[in-house]
Structure 1
Amino acid sequence: MKRIAQLVKVKPECIDEYERIHAAVWPEVLATIHDCNIRNYSIFRHDTLLIAYFEYIGEDYAADMKKMAADPKTQEWWTLTDPMQEPLEGSSSWWTQGKEVFYTP
């Protein structure tokens, strides 16, 4: 199992809508997350910073992320969420992966 943390910003004017839609994530999107070997997925917000945490239990992360990106319902979901977000300044990716600096089981 691999623990993953990711960070992105939510646009200040989109905070309420972002939280509203995440209070009722579409079942198809949740099923795809599960099918792509992601467990214990959470998104936290501090001001405009979003912090995602999840546990990956699969064997091929890149292939599972490609599978997720190809899912039509997930693509539709992302057409809602992506315009509400912006990458961290200086980041080369949309969601920046955080470095784990401490863990205790």
Structure 2
Amino acid sequence: MQRMGMVLGVKPDMVATYKELHAAVWPEILALLTRCNIRNYTIFLREPENLLFGYYEYHGSDYEADMALMAADPKNQEWWSFCIPCQAPLETRAEGEWWAMMEPVFHME
């Protein structure tokens, strides 16, 4: 299992919309996350900075393939069409990233 942490901005005028979307995540998206071996997915919001911190555990054996499956899914692309306009990716993210991945430096079971 891999623990994944990531950070992303949310546009100030879209915070309420982003919260509404995630208060009722579509069942197809939840099922897709499970199929792609993602568990314990949580997104935290820090206001007034409007930073989103995402955490999940990956339980699969081919992360790249599972992420490609997720990105190619038509329902997920539709979901992203609502979420992406709310988001403000960090300028310092790595090339090819939307959410900026974070390095784990501590964990306690």
TM-score bracket for the superposition, by shorter chain length: over 0.9
Alpha-carbon displacement from aligned partner over 1:56-93 (angstroms, at most 9, x marks no partner): 00000000000000111000000000011011122232
TM-score where L is the length of structure 2:
0.94
The structural deviation recorded for 1:12 is: 0.4
Q: 2:26 matched to which residue of 1?
A: 26
Amino acid across the alignment from 1:81: C
Q: 2:103 matched to which residue of 1?
A: 99
Q: 1:84 matched to which residue of 2?
A: 86
RMSD in angstroms over aligned alpha carbons? 0.7
Q: Report the identity percentage.
A: 50
Correspondent of 1:57 among 50, 59, 66: 59
Alpha-carbon displacement from aligned partner over 1:21-78 (angstroms, at most 9, x marks no partner): 1000000010000000000000000021000000000000000000000111000000
Gaps of 5+ in 2: none
TM-score where L is the length of structure 1:
0.97
What is the rounded CA distance, in whole Å, between the counterparts of 2:85 and 2:39 in structure 1?
25
